[in-house]
Amino acid sequence: MTPRPAPPRGGAEAGLTLAETVVALGIFGLALLGLNVMMVSSLRTSELARDLATARFLAEQRIEQIERARYEDGDGDGVFDPSAPCTDIDEVTAANFPDEGFGEIDLRNGTLFTYRDCAGRPGIRAAAVPTSASDYPDTPQGRLERWTMRDQYARFRREVHIVDSADYERPIRNVSLDGPNLAAPDNVVVDLAPPGSGVPATDFVKFVLVRVKWRDSHGKVHHVTVSTQKTFAIPAG
């Protein structure tokens, strides 16, 4: 019987060559790289969505506090008199709703006030009481409350900008903010109506803008701004 010749080298039954192995590994590496890019992009999108939701919550929470605040012209003269706080009450102020830097945001700020009775008006809210981290007891419940109300917002900065129409001789058409500047409060831009424009006066209106700013894990600065107008019904003097 004549023996069968051995198959030639490099035939159908031969293994992969070094070049083929390198090409296969390269294709596999490119596939892994593409998958990694997709995962990183997905994580960044998820982080931004979470931060945007948190920032909008912080801004709207502050706006809600301010909208519940009072302005009362007790003597009906159409002018707020800070020397008579028992008669004229203005709770929509920067002192009651101050800017909060990184690590200072606390959901209780703007809700705790000192009170005093005077002029037949019991329980007048005199001044806001700021909350600090030391106000929470060092207990499991206290640490949980501190995380819920304060610590989880340490990466965010919250600013409150209040523009009082009574401070301007001409009507206000619009109020906006420059920025954002992470290190300092942003500048307020007040657009006034030109003289003789016929624009209705904006007496006894406070324009409020709340801006929340933060830097993401990649160093990019983001911000969310929410605004409102609070009109006070004050009778003419």
Domain boundaries, the chain: 43-231
pLDDT on residue 123: 73
When pLDDT is cut at 50, 70 and 90, the band that residue 236 belongs to is: very low
Instruction: For the chain, give the mean pLDDT.
Output: 82
pLDDT on residue 72: 75
pLDDT on residue 41: 66
pLDDT in tens, 67-92: 888 877 776 676 667 677 677 788 88
Classify burial at 21, counting beta carbons within 10 Å of its beta carbon; exposed 0-12, middle 13-18, buried 19 or more. Answer: exposed
| Residue, of 108 and 200, whose pLDDT is higher | 108
170 in Cβ contact with 202 (< 8 Å): no
Considering 87-101, 140-154, 223-237, the range whose residues carry the highest mean pLDDT is 140-154
Q: With a cut of 90, say whether residue 99 has pLDDT above it.
A: yes
| Residue, of 237 and 34, whose pLDDT is higher | 34
Q: Which of 4-13, 23-32, 189-198 has the lowest mean pLDDT?
A: 4-13
Q: Which of 57-61, 67-71, 185-189, 223-227 has the lowest mean pLDDT?
A: 67-71
When pLDDT is cut at 50, 70 and 90, the band that residue 1 belongs to is: low
